[in-house]
Structure 1
C-alpha cells in the first residue's frame, strides 16, 4: 500500500514539474454538482457567450480540453465536467451506462443555469454525448463527435472483432490487481497503439492523467465505462430509431477512425459533416490541437446558424408529419416501456419517451395470434387502432367473453392502474398509444409477465 501511494505521489510530482501538462484556464470557476443519478460531478466553466459543453474521453479527464477551452472562452461560455468516475468526479459503484451519464451531464448544465448548448465530445465522451443528444435533442444546438465508436451502432460488431480493442473487455477485480501500481504501463499501451505520433501525448501529460486514474477506485471506475457497453448498445438501438436533426460534425484522425466517424454518425443523424485530421491518430487535442480547434470553431460559428434549423427550409424538430409508409419498425421485436413486454411486439417511438416525464406517442405492431394477459400501466393512455382488428377487454384476468373487436380507426382508453388484456387474430395489429410518462407495465399475475422469462 505504501509503495503504491509513493508511486501515485511521484506521478503527480513529475507531472507538476513539467509545464507541458494539460490544464484548463486558471480563470475558470469550479464546483461539484450532485447528480440525482447518484454521482458528484466536478465541473469547471468560464468565458462568456453561447454555451459550449465539452465531454472528455477515457485515459484522459476534463483537462484534455485545455487548447479548445482556451480558444472558445474568448466568445463562448465553456462548461467542462469530469465524467462520472473520472478525474475529480465521485466514483460510485454503478451508473456507468452512458444514458445515466447523460443525465449526470444534464444535471450539471441546469444546475449552472444553462439550457441549450453546443456539445463537443471525444472518445467515450462521444457515447455520452450521443445519449445526451438523443435524450435531449432540443437542448443541443450542434454536436461534434471525435474519433470513437458508438456501442450498438454499425459497424460496432466489426469494431469488436479488432484485437486492438481488447481493453473493452479488460475489467473486474483481477484486472484491477494486475494494473495496481502499473497504471502507466497500462495506459501507455492505449496511448501508443492509437496515436499517429509516438511522442504524443507527451510524458508529462501521460504522468498527469495516469495519476488521476491511480487514485483509489479510479481504475475500477474507468473499467466500468467499458463494462457498461452492452447496456449502452441496447439503449442506442432504441435511440437509433429517431435520427438526430441538429447539425453534426464527425471528426476522425487520419491514422485512426478517419472517415469512419462520419459513417457511424450517419446511422443516427440526418445532417452530418465529415472531417479528417491529416496525420493524426486518436489523440486529436494532443497530436493536432491547432487544426482541430480551428475545425471545431469553424463548425460552431459557421454562418448557417443553429437558429436557421427552425426556418421553412429546415423544419423545427418538434414538427413531425409521418405517413404510414414512413413508420420504420425494427426487424426484430423490441418491447419496451409502455408496451405489454411480449417479445414479438415491434415498437416505434413517434414522440417523446415512455421512460421520461412528458407526453409520448408510440406505435406498436403486435404479431398475429398473440394473447396478452391482464396488466396495467401507471399513466393515463389513449389509443387508436391503425390496422388489423384488435381485441381488448378490461378486468383482472383474461376473459374472452369480455373482449371487444376494434377494427382500424377504433379508439379506446387505458386509464391509470386499470387492468386490461388483449389478443390478435389471424393478422398483425398496429396500435398507436399516447400517454404521459414515465410509464410502466405491471402484470396482475407476475408469472404471466413475458419479461420474466428473460430475466
Structure 2
C-alpha cells in the first residue's frame, strides 16, 4: 500500500481566471483529475489524492467560485463547470485524464464525459449525488443534514468555512442544478470504463438493498461498482486508503472482482464488475 505524498499548492490561469489547485507531476504517468463536491473546496479530496500521487500525475483544483479560486461574474452551470475542468487540463498541459468526482463532482464529471469525451480516459464516481434520488429540494437538504453526523468530526473543519464563504444565493442556485441533473444515468451512457464507489451509510443514495438490486439488473459492460460497508458520503475524506486502492487498480486496468457479500464477512469493500 502506498504512503501519502505531499501535493504542492499552485495557481494556474484558466480562461483568464486564476484557479487554485494542488498538484504533483510524475513523468510519463497517467493523469488523475479530482473534482470536489458541492459548495466546498478540493481540500477534502487530498487524503485520497495524496495516496495516488506517487504513481500518477495528480491534480486537485478548486473549480472557479469554489475554495480559493475567485468567483466568476455568475453562478456557473453544470456544463460550464465541466468546460472549466477541460480548460484546467489545457492550462496544466494535460491532454487526457482519469476523472474522479465526489458528489457534485460526479455531476460535473458526467457533463465532462458528454462534452469532452476525447479528454476522458476513465471515470470514477464516488458518492454520486443529484437526480431523482435528491428531489424535491427539501429532500436533498434533509439528506445532507442526515449525512453530517455520519462523517468524521474533522470533516467539519474542512467543510464549514467553505460552505460559509460560498454564499446562500450561490448555494441555492447550484443545489437546484445538481438535483435536476441525472449524473449516474448520463455517465453510464458514455462508453468509457466507469468505477462507482458507493457508501452503504450514504443518505443521498438509495438503501443498500436497492443498490444491489439495481446493479444486478444493469447490463452495462464497462461498469464496476464498489460498495464500502461503513462509509457515508464524503468517502474520499473518510476512507482514503480503500478509495485509493480501488482507483489505483482501476486505472491500471486490473479487474476488481469479488461478490457483493465477501466470503470472509470482514472485508470493508464489496465489488461487482460488469467488465470483461
Give unmatched runs, 5+ long, in structure 2: 256-274
* CA distance in 2: counterparts of 1:117 and 1:296, whole angstroms: 13
- Out of 94, 108, 114, the position equivalent to 1:128 is 108
State yes or no: 1:209 paired with 2:150.
Answer: no
Contact 1:33-1:43 at 8 Å conserved across structures: no
- Out of 63, 69, 76, the position equivalent to 1:96 is 76
* CA distance in 2: counterparts of 1:268 and 1:86, whole angstroms: 36
* CA distance in 2: counterparts of 1:108 and 1:114, whole angstroms: 9
Change (3 A) 1:74 1:261: farther
Q: Which of the two has greater helix per residue?
A: 2
1:40 CA displacement:
4.2
- Out of 207, 226, 229, the position equivalent to 1:275 is 226
| 1:53 matched residue in structure 2 | 33
1:254 CA displacement:
0.9
Change (3 A) 1:212 1:149: closer
1:96 CA displacement:
2.4
* CA distance in 2: counterparts of 1:84 and 1:103, whole angstroms: 11
State yes or no: 1:137 paired with 2:117.
Answer: yes
Change (3 A) 1:29 1:137: same
Contact 2:39-2:162 at 8 Å conserved across structures: no
* CA distance in 1: counterparts of 2:126 and 2:187, whole angstroms: 22
1:183-332 pair list within 5 angstroms: 190=144, 193-194=146-147, 198=149, 200-203=151-154, 205-215=155-165, 218-229=167-178, 232=181, 240=186, 243-256=189-202, 257=205, 258=208, 260=211, 263=214, 271-303=222-254
* CA distance in 2: counterparts of 1:261 and 1:52, whole angstroms: 28
* CA distance in 1: counterparts of 2:157 and 2:187, whole angstroms: 42
Change (3 A) 1:289 1:40: same
* CA distance in 2: counterparts of 1:285 and 1:241, whole angstroms: 20
Deviation string for 1:186-213 (max 9, x for gaps)? xxx93x5125xx363324x313321233
* CA distance in 1: counterparts of 2:101 and 2:219, whole angstroms: 16
Give the 3-state SS of the residue equivalent to 2:68 in structure 1.
coil
Give the 3-state SS of the residue equivalent to 1:114 in structure 2.
coil
Structure of higher RCO (CA pairs closer than 8 Å, 6+ residues apart): 2
* CA distance in 2: counterparts of 1:241 and 1:119, whole angstroms: 12
Contact 2:49-2:244 at 8 Å conserved across structures: no
Give the 3-state SS of the residue equivalent to 1:246 in structure 2.
coil
Change (3 A) 1:199 1:144: closer
Kindly report the root-mean-square deviation, in angstroms, between the aligned alpha carbons of the 2 structures.
Answer: 3.4
| 1:160 matched residue in structure 2 | 135
Give the 3-state SS of the residue equivalent to 1:228 in structure 2.
helix
Contact 1:33-1:41 at 8 Å conserved across structures: yes
| 1:146 matched residue in structure 2 | 126
Contact 1:119-1:143 at 8 Å conserved across structures: yes
* CA distance in 1: counterparts of 2:188 and 2:237, whole angstroms: 34
Change (3 A) 1:261 1:251: farther
Give unmatched runs, 5+ long, in structure 1: 1-23, 168-188, 305-313, 315-455
1:68-79 pair list within 5 angstroms: 68-79=48-59
Deviation string for 1:274-312 (max 9, x for gaps)? 1101111112123322222212222112347xxxxxxxx
TM-score, normalised via structure 2 length:
0.75
Deviation string for 1:240-267 (max 9, x for gaps)? 5992111000111011235749959x98
* CA distance in 1: counterparts of 2:32 and 2:213, whole angstroms: 21
Contact 2:134-2:179 at 8 Å conserved across structures: no
Structure having the higher Rg:
1
* CA distance in 1: counterparts of 2:34 and 2:177, whole angstroms: 21
Change (3 A) 1:270 1:135: farther
Change (3 A) 1:208 1:34: same
